[in-house]
Amino acid sequence: MAVKGKLARITGPVVVAKDLHGAKLYDVVRVGEEKLVGEIIKIVGNECVVQVYEDTAGLKPGEPVFSTGEPLSVELGPGILRSFYDGIQRPLQGIEEAAGAFITRGIDVPPLDHKKKWDFKATRKKGEKVEAGDILGEVKETDVITHKILATDSGTLTDISSGKYTLEDTIGTIDTRKKKVPLHLYHRWVVRKPRPYREKFPPIVPLSTGMRLVDTFAPIAKGGTAAIPGPFGSGKTVTQQSLAKWSDAEIVVYIGCGERGNEMTEVLNEFPKILDPKTGKPLMERTVLIANTSNMPVAAREASIYTGITLAEYYRDMGYGVSLMADSTSRWAEALREISGRLEEMPGEEGYPAYLARKLAEFYERAGRVKTLGSPDREGSVTVIGAVSPPGGDISEPVSQNTLRVTKVFLALDASLAHRRHFPALNWLNSYSLYTETLDPWYEENVGADWPKLRNSAMALLQKEAELQEIVQLVGPDALPEKEQAILLITKMIREDYLQQSAFHEVDAFATMTKQHRMLKNIMRFYERAMGAIDLGIQLKTISSMKVLEKIGRMKEIPEDKMKDIEAIYKSIDSEFDSLKRE
- Amino acid identity at 463: Q
Mean pLDDT of 274-295: 83
Question: For the ranges 223-232, 281-290, 415-424, which has the lowest average pLDDT?
Answer: 415-424
Query: Which residues are within 8 A (CB) of 576 and not within 5 positions of it... i.e. 6 or more apart?
Result: 546, 547, 548
> In 228-328, which residue ranges form alpha helices assigned H by DSSP?
236-246, 261-270, 298-317
Cis peptide bond N-terminal to 73, omega within 30: no
Indicate whether 231 pLDDT > 80.
no
Domain boundaries, the chain: 3-71, 113-185, 199-430, 451-582
> According to the model, what pLDDT value does residue 328 have?
82
Burial tier of 510 (Cβ tally within 10 Å: 0-12, 13-18, 19+):
buried
Q: How confident is the model at residue 353 (pLDDT cuts 50, 70, 90)?
A: very high
Phi and psi at residue 11, to the nearest 5°: -130, 85
Q: How confident is the model at residue 2 (pLDDT cuts 50, 70, 90)?
A: low
Indicate whether 3 pLDDT > 60.
no
> According to the model, what pLDDT value does residue 273 have?
77
CATH of domain 3-71: 2.40.30.20
> According to the model, what pLDDT value does residue 504 have?
75
Long-range Cβ contacts of 33-39 (<8 Å, 24+ apart): 33/63, 33/64, 34/105, 34/106, 35/66, 35/106, 35/108, 36/105, 36/106, 37/88, 37/106, 38/299, 39/71, 39/72, 39/299, 39/303
Question: For the ranges 11-20, 98-107, 322-331, which has the lowest average pLDDT?
Answer: 98-107
Under CATH, which architecture does the 451-582 domain have? Orthogonal Bundle (1.10)
Give the pTM: 0.92
SS3 assignment, position 284: helix
Q: How confident is the model at residue 371 (pLDDT cuts 50, 70, 90)?
A: very high
Q: 413: which DSSP letter?
A: B
Mean pLDDT of 203-231: 94
pLDDT of 418-459, one tens digit each?
888 888 889 999 999 999 999 999 999 999 999 999 999 999
Mean pLDDT of 4-32: 90
- Amino acid identity at 244: A
> According to the model, what pLDDT value does residue 583 have?
66
Mean pLDDT of 133-155: 94
> According to the model, what pLDDT value does residue 300 have?
83
Indicate whether 59 pLDDT > 60.
yes
Indicate whether 261 pLDDT > 90.
no
Query: Which residues are within 8 A (CB) of 343 and not within 5 positions of it... i.e. 6 or more apart?
Result: 14, 41, 42, 49
pLDDT of 520-574, one tens digit each?
999 999 999 999 999 999 999 999 999 999 999 999 999 988 999 999 999 999 9
Of 493, 491, 465, 489, which Cα lies nearest the Cα of 552? 493
pLDDT of 377-396, one tens digit each?
899 999 999 999 888 778 88
In whole angstroms, what separates CA 186 from the centre of its chain? 24
Under CATH, which architecture does the 113-185 domain have? Beta Barrel (2.40)
Q: 267 versus 469: which is more confidently predicted?
A: 469
Q: What is the CA radius of gyration of the chain?
A: 27
Q: 280 versus 512: which is more confidently predicted?
A: 512
Question: For the ranges 26-35, 234-243, 376-385, which has the lowest average pLDDT?
Answer: 234-243
Reply yes or no on domain 199-430 having CATH 3.20.20.70.
Answer: no
Cα–Cα distance, 347 to 361 (Å, whole number): 19
Cis peptide bond N-terminal to 376, omega within 30: yes
Indicate whether 1 pLDDT > 60.
no
Contact 223, 206 (CB under 8 A): no
Question: For the ranges 196-210, 228-242, 328-342, 436-450, which has the lowest average pLDDT?
Answer: 228-242
- C-alpha torsion sign, points 5, 6, 11, 12: positive
Cα–Cα distance, 583 to 581 (Å, whole number): 5
Of 539, 525, 533, which Cα lies nearest the Cα of 570? 525
Burial tier of 201 (Cβ tally within 10 Å: 0-12, 13-18, 19+):
middle
Cα separations (Å) of 306 from 49, 105, 132, 359, 459?
A: 20, 22, 22, 11, 37
Q: What is the DSSP string of 170-213?
A: --EEEE-SS-EEEE-S-EEEETTSPPP-SEE--S-SB---S-HH
Q: 370 versus 247: which is more confidently predicted?
A: 370
Of 359, 311, 314, which Cα lies nearest the Cα of 336? 359
Contact 148, 135 (CB under 8 A): yes
Count other Cβ atoms within 10 Å, centred on residue 179.
9
Indicate whether 272 pLDDT > 80.
no
As a whole number, the mean pLDDT across the chain is 90
Contact 112, 78 (CB under 8 A): yes
In whole angstroms, what separates CA 257 from the centre of its chain? 12
> According to the model, what pLDDT value does residue 533 have?
93
> According to the model, what pLDDT value does residue 548 have?
94
Contact 570, 520 (CB under 8 A): no
Cis peptide bond N-terminal to 559, omega within 30: no
Q: Roughly what angle, to the nearest 10 degrees, separates helices 451-475 and 436-446?
A: 120
- Quick one: which H or E segment has residue 11? strand 3-11
